[in-house]
Amino acid sequence: MPEENVIIQLSIFVNNEPGRLAAIARTLKESNVNMKAFNLAESAEFGILRAIVDDPEESFEKIRQKGIIVKKTQVIGIVINDAPGSLFDAADVCGREGINIEYGYAYAGKNLSAFFIRVDEPHRAVTALKEAGIALVKGTDI
């Protein structure tokens, strides 16, 4: 079942101006959106905030209603706490399968550390990674 390993990330467009990120963070906090992990990609004039949150569906609606550009993106979490080198193995599997990793970022929780990766074909990636014996995060784990 690849679905249980496909995690919903919220991607948010941020203007690269002083205070914009803080304003978005405040809006998320006021909407009780709890960010578990996040990553900010920047270009000269805009940024893209990528966040793993509690209850992504409900959070998505809350954020969208605030007039913020938000989008749901499917990512995969590679468990890295008990298997050093699993990130390399995962990248290796994707490379062999011709699956391009767009970006990734780390997550460290109480029970679990993981690395989230964004690939174009998440379902195919989940199947390939699982076949290679790599442990993946389930949506319910975080």
| 101 touches another protein by CB under 8 A | no
What are the strands of the beta sheet with 70-79, ordered from one edge? 35-42, 46-53, 6-15, 70-79, 113-119, 101-108
Minimal distance, residue 30 CB to another protein, in Å: 16
| 9 touches another protein by CB under 8 A | yes
Give the relative orientation of helices 20-30 and 56-65 as an angle to the nearest 10 degrees. 120
Interface stretch with another protein, choices 35-43, 90-98, 122-130, 131-139 (CB under 8 A): 35-43
Which H or E run includes 104?
A: strand 101-108
Task: Note the residues at the interface with another protein (CB under 8 A).
Answer: 9, 11, 13-15, 17, 41-43, 45-46, 48, 50, 67-69, 71, 73, 102-103, 118
